[in-house]
């Protein structure tokens, strides 16, 4: 994902997200506006297993980035939209922001459509292939552990490893003795899917480590 007002808006949404589980792959969030103020936010995160969770992002936490995004998108004095729909895929970093200028009922959740709206809002971008360069760039940007890829890299406790075995790719973690943790072993037919899973596991390891460090603090 490139830098700029849109990227900063998405970063703020994720930072101030409420109700989301630790692991999610995609996000759809509606931001309702009153002029240049954020009235409310609501939406969903989507997990790899198909599970959906209702979420919101703290309005005061995203207000400054919403205003910056609108200022970069609209001319001074131009009528602002009623709502924004922000859709984001966490692994590929693909995103789309849709404006609603006149229909206040669009994307509104009611008792009659509560089971339908999550599916309607779910991001459905053209599939973007995860490349090795993109993986390594994301690892550097997020300061994640460097994975061990096809034998290149240093094994350590909780290292994420990708190996090619015949026509397949396998991803797994190793323990402090550098042995495979069998419960983490997954096989993929396509390299880009394996690389995307490597990134997912690296983020899991980073979150687990931060949680342990927090517990150790006095």
Residues 98-143: tens digit of each pLDDT: 999 889 999 999 999 999 999 999 988 655 678 899 899 989 988 9
Question: Is the domain of 24 the same as that of 61?
Answer: yes
Return the percentage of the chain with pLDDT > 70, whole number.
95
Residue 127 lies in a domain: no
pTM for the model stands at: 0.64
Question: Is the domain of 58 the same as that of 10?
Answer: yes
Q: Which residues contact 144 (CB under 8 A, 6 or more apart)?
A: 138, 199, 202, 203, 205, 206
**pLDDT tens, residue by residue, 25-42:** 999 999 999 988 999 999
Domain boundary among 121, 143, 173: 121
Tokens coding 154 = 């240093």
Residue 169 lies in a domain: yes
Domain boundary among 96, 121, 146: 121
Return the percentage of the chain with pLDDT > 90, whole number.
64
Residue 90 lies in a domain: yes
Report the pLDDT value the prediction gives residue 41, as an integer from 0 to 100: 98
CA distance 89 to 162: 22
The winner for highest mean pLDDT among 8-22, 71-85, 92-106, 124-138 is 8-22
- Candidates 60, 26, 17; CA nearest to 40 is 60
User: Hey, which residues does 112 pair with through a beta bridge?
Assistant: none
Are the CB atoms for 41 and 84 separated by under 8 Å?
Answer: no
Whether the CA torsion 160, 92, 124, 25 is positive or negative: it is positive
The domain that contains 91 carries what CATH number? 3.30.500.20
DSSP state of 74: S
Residue 170 lies in a domain: yes
Residue 176 lies in a domain: yes
Report the pLDDT value the prediction gives residue 218, as an integer from 0 to 100: 66
Question: Is the domain of 103 the same as that of 143?
Answer: no
Are the CB atoms for 27 and 44 separated by under 8 Å?
Answer: yes
Question: Is the domain of 112 the same as that of 200?
Answer: no
Question: Is the domain of 116 the same as that of 194?
Answer: no
**pLDDT tens, residue by residue, 162-192:** 999 999 999 999 999 999 999 889 999 889 8
Residue 126 lies in a domain: no
Residue 71 lies in a domain: yes
- Total domain count, the chain: 2
What is the arithmetic mean of pLDDT over 39-48?
Answer: 95
Question: Is the domain of 13 the same as that of 116?
Answer: yes
What is the arithmetic mean of pLDDT over 94-99?
Answer: 89
Q: Which domain holds residue 190?
A: 132-216
């Amino acid at each position: 994902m490139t830098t700029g007002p849109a990227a900063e808006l998405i970063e703020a949404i994720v930072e101030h997200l409420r109700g989301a589980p630790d692991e999610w792959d995609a996000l759809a969030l509606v931001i309702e506006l009153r002029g240049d103020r954020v009235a409310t936010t609501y939406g969903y995160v989507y997990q790899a297993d198909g599970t959906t969770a209702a979420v919101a992002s703290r309005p005061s936490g995203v207000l400054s980035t919403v205003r910056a995004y609108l200022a970069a998108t609209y001319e001074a004095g131009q009528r602002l939209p009623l709502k924004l729909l922000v859709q984001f895929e966490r692994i590929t970093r693909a995103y789309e922001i849709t404006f609603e200028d006149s229909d206040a009922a669009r994307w509104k959740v009611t008792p009659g459509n509560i089971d339908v709206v999550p599916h309607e809002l779910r991001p459905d971008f053209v599939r973007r292939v995860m490349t090795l360069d993109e993986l390594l760039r994301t690892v550097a940007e997020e300061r994640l552990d460097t994975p061990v890829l096809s034998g290149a890299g240093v094994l350590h406790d909780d290292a994420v490893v990708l190996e090619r075995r015949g026509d397949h790719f396998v991803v797994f973690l190793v323990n402090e003795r550098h042995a495979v943790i069998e419960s983490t072993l997954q096989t993929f037919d396509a390299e880009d899917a394996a690389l995307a899973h490597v990134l997912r596991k690296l983020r899991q390891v980073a979150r687990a480590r931060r949680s342990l460090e927090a517990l150790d603090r006095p």
